[in-house]
């Protein structure tokens, strides 16, 4: 009778080849010049300078994940970083307003992007919703309807920019109001003596500027109406989460989107089915 062969225990995978703390990026970046913008599950985002001391940029860094096998982790980081960079370059080339790619090191896990100075559409909507709430409390009918054209025009610009993205066969993957920026336009020369009219005009100018789409970490290439409709559904949910008063604004986004390309109408039809499935999932928990 032969004795059973003993199988040696499997050694755990080696730790990632890095001893850097979480917020210590590889060269050429230094901690002293980094300003944290946000920290997500997959990436850290900073504001810093690049190439020259006066060129503000955004650095997106994907640090090693200790819970993944180092070989798999390196491969996934490289694939996702390059996919994001390629999508941004493609969109920029075709006229979609996205941050320009200024540098990339897929091996080290960082991507340098053009800095878009401005505010997120979520921030704009939060401010608008707050003003609506204040008017409702005051019940001041004299201000009813004032300022609506500016916010509606902003919604149309959002719809057109998303339509341009989908027309290229690119789906964002995380299309929320936090990932849409309103870039601050260059300042006009102020009048020598401020008047009530100029103050009102200044408030209106706060909604002017170009719409930029940011954070392409989950982007995919797709020509399917279903994928584009899911993009729109995610954005619609972001609107409804802001304030009940903001939900009707999304209809203006869809109206402009529907006029943005020849395939947009069929995407809007598919959106109805996506909404229905979303409601069923929320009902069933």
Q: So which residues are the catalytic ones?
A: 174
Measured between alpha carbons, how far is residue 258 from residues 109, 165, 221, 251 in Å?
A: 38, 13, 20, 10
Q: What's the residue count for the chain? A: 285
Give the closest residue to 206 by CA, choosing from 187, 189, 179, 190: 187
The SS3 call for residue 195 is coil
- CA dihedral in degrees (5, 9, 11, 12; nearest 10)? 140
The alpha carbon dihedral of 223, 174, 122, 36 has a sign of negative
CA pair distance 281, 118, nearest whole angstrom = 36
The alpha carbon dihedral of 154, 155, 160, 162 has a sign of positive
CA pair distance 157, 249, nearest whole angstrom = 12
């Amino acid at each position: 009778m032969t004795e059973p062969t003993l199988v040696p225990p499997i050694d755990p995978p080696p730790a990632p080849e890095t001893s850097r703390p979480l917020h210590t990026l590889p060269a050429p970046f230094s901690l002293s010049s980094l300003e944290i913008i946000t920290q997500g599950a997959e990436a850290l985002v900073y504001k810093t300078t690049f190439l020259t001391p006066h060129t503000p940029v955004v650095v997106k860094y994907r640090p090693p994940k200790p819970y993944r096998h180092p070989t798999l982790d390196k491969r996934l980081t490289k694939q996702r970083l390059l996919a994001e960079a390629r999508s941004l370059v493609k969109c920029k080339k075709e006229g979609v307003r996205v941050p320009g790619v200024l540098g990339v090191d897929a091996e080290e896990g960082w991507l340098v992007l053009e800095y878009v100075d401005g505010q997120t559409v979520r921030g704009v909507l939060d401010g608008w919703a707050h003003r609506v709430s204040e008017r409702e409390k005051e019940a001041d009918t004299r201000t009813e309807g004032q300022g609506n054209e500016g916010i509606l025009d902003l919604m149309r610009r959002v719809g057109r920019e998303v339509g341009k993205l989908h027309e290229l066969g690119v789906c964002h993957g995380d299309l929320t109001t936090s990932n849409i920026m309103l870039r601050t336009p260059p300042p006009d020369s102020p009048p020598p003596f401020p008047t009530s009219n100029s103050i009102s005009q200044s408030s209106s100018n706060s909604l002017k500027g170009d719409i930029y789409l940011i954070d392409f970490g989950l982007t995919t290439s797709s020509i399917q109406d279903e994928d584009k409709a899911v993009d729109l559904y995610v954005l619609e949910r972001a609107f409804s989460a802001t304030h009940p008063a903001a939900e009707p604004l999304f209809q203006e986004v869809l109206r402009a989107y529907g006029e943005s390309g020849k395939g947009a109408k069929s995407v809007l039809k598919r959106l109805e089915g996506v909404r229905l499935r979303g409601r069923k999932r929320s009902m069933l928990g």
